[in-house]
Amino acid sequence: MKVSKEEILHIAKLANLNLKEEEIDTYLLHLQDILNFANIVNNAPVEGLKETIGTNKNYNVFRKDEIINFEDNEALLANAPEKERNMFKIPKVIQ
């Protein structure tokens, strides 16, 4: 499958990444290269095979509905680039 410049820009937008004009061609080339290789999966003899969901056979792994308070609340906010009144501060978002 051929990837267009518009597509890669759309994808970068979904991923919240900026691509500089001069980088786009390199990213496009690399992505195309890798996708061409990855396309092998479309030739694999997988007729009738189910998709693997989960690497092991674990199922119904549940937790009891019991409260455990995290012991170091302060540390959870210690890495914040900007905070105010114990909240993470960001530029104004209009909802």
Partner 1 sequence: MEITELTVHELKEKLANKELTITEITKAYADRIEEKEKGIGAFVTILKEDAMKKAQEIEEKVKANEIKGDLAGIPIGIKDNICTKGIATTCSSKMLENFVSPYDATVMEKVNNENMINLGKLNMDEFAMGGSTEYSAFHVTKNPWNLNKVPGGSSGGVAAAVAAGMVPWALGSDTGGSIRQPASFCGVVGMKPTYGLVSRYGLVAFASSLDQIGPITKDVEDCAMLLNVITGHDEKDSTSENREKVDYTLSLKNDVKGMKIGIPKEFYGEGISEEVKQKLEEAIQKYKELGAEVEEFSLDIANYALATYYIIACAEASSNLGRFDGIRYGYRTPNYENLKDIYKNSRTEAFGDEVKRRIILGTYVLSSGYYDAYYKKAQQVRTLVQAKFDEAFSKYDVILTPTAPTTAFNIGEKKANPLEMYLADICTVSVNIAGLPGISIPCGLDKEGMPIGMQLIGQKFSEETLLNAAYTFEQAVKFRKNYKPEFKNI
Partner 2 sequence: MSREDYEIVIGLEVHAELSTKTKIFCSCPTEFGGEPNTHTCPVCMAMPGALPVLNERVVEYAVKAGLATNCEIARNSKNDRKNYFYPDLPKSYQISQFDMPLCEKGYVEIEDENGEKKKIGITRIHIEEDAGKLNHNEFGGGSLVDLNRAGVPLIETVSEPDIRSSKEAENYLRKLKSIFEYIEVSDCKMQEGSFRADVNVSVRKKGANEFGTRTEMKNMSSFRSIVRAIEYEADRQIDVIEEGGKIEQETLRWDDVSGKTFSMRDKEDAQDYRYFPDPDLVAIKLSDEYIENIKNNLPELPESRKARYMSELGLSEKDSNLLTASKHLSNMFEKASAICKNHKLVANWLLSDISRILNEKEIEADQIPFTAEELAKMITLIEKGTISSAIAKKVVEELFENPKDPEEIIKEKGWIQISDEGAIKEVVQKIIQANPQSVADFKAGKDKAVGFLVGQAMKETKGKANPQMLNKMFIEELKK
Please report, as ranges, the residues that interact with partner 2 according to CB under 8 A: 14, 16, 53-56, 58-70, 73, 76-77, 84-93, 95
Residue 21, binding choice from partner 1, partner 2, none, Cβ under 5 to 8 Å by partner class: none
Of these, 2, 4, 6, 18, which contacts partner 1 (CB under 8 A)? 18
Does 78 engage in binding with partner 1 (CB under 8 A)?
A: yes
As measured in angstroms, the least distance from the Cβ of 39 to partner 2 is 19
DSSP state of 41: G
Contact 30, 8 (CB under 8 A): no
Residues 83 and 17: their CA atoms lie apart, in Å, by: 24
Nearest to 31, CA basis, from 17, 45, 51, 43: 17
